[in-house]
Chain A
Amino acid sequence: AQSVTQPDIHITVSEGASLELRCNYSYGATPYLFWYVQSPGQGLQLLLKYFSGDTLVQGIKGFEAEFKRSQSSFNLRKPSVHWSDAAEYFCAVVKGNKLVFGAGTILRVKS
């Protein structure tokens, strides 16, 4: 069963515009959730994570994500996108002793 769904394969936003990347999960009453970013030709880097507590979490590079249990969602947001944010973004959830990734969303930034 799919544990993490990222509905958008590609998203294009203008530089300076706001961004929201969607993530829905289907595992765990209290999930451990992550967002990772992959720049072209690179490995993955952690943006932020949620385990418990405040449902709005802050990450690096000005990103934030909000955990909504009622919607089984953990959407990633940024108020103003920079050209350097162009990358692929992955949502992930802990399932037992494993980390399960979504299919990813490719972000394109147009100037």
Chain B
Amino acid sequence: NAGVTQTPKFQVLKTGQSMTLQCAQDMNHEYMSWYRQDPGMGLRLIHYSVGAGITDQGEVPNGYNVSRSTTEDFPLRLLSAAPSQTSVYFCASSYGRGSTDTQYFGPGTRLTVL
């Protein structure tokens, strides 16, 4: 199993550009989530999904969209990038439909918005 994969590893955007961060898992996990990590703030939940076709907002959803058309994939879209979205983004997945199961994290995407 590849586990949780994320692409790209690094990305530089200009303010106002849009892009999609890809996340895929091959463990047949129901629960998937996106976090952003900023120094001194830990990981903050952006959006999550408890199964295909179901998504919900986390702590910091503004400026981001998600969809979950398949169990495997959970892309994160930045609609109009802003410097405040410079961060490291992690995707995670877990077996159950809730957040009580062990989450498996991808390697992260480091995004810089100029």
- Which residues does A use to contact B, with CB under 8 Å? 4, 6, 9, 32, 34, 42-46, 49, 51, 90, 94, 96-104
Contact = CB atoms under 8 A, between A and B. Distances in A.
Contacts of B44: 101
B107 A103 contact: no
Contacts of A44: 43, 90, 92, 103, 105
Contact residues on B (Cβ < 8 Å of other chain), bracket: 20 to 34
Contact of B42 (A51, A90, A96): A90
A11 to B, nearest CB: 15
5 contacts: A43-B105, A43-B107, A94-B100, A97-B48, A97-B99
A43 B106 contact: yes
Nearest to A32: B100
A94 B33 CA distance: 14
Residue of A44, A49, A94, A104 most packed against chain B (CB within 10 A): A44
Interface string B90-114: 1010000011101101111000000
B48 A103 contact: no
Contacts of B108: 42-43
Interface string B39-67: 01111110010100000101100000000
A14 B35 CA distance: 32
A103 B42 contact: yes
Nearest to A4: B42
A101 B43 contact: yes
Contacts of B42: 4, 6, 90, 101-104
A101 B3 CA distance: 22
A3 to B, nearest CB: 10
B48 A98 contact: yes
A100 B105 CA distance: 15
A40 to B, nearest CB: 11
B35 to A, nearest CB: 8
Nearest to B102: A46
Contacts of A90: 42-43
A51 B98 CA distance: 14
A6 B99 CA distance: 21
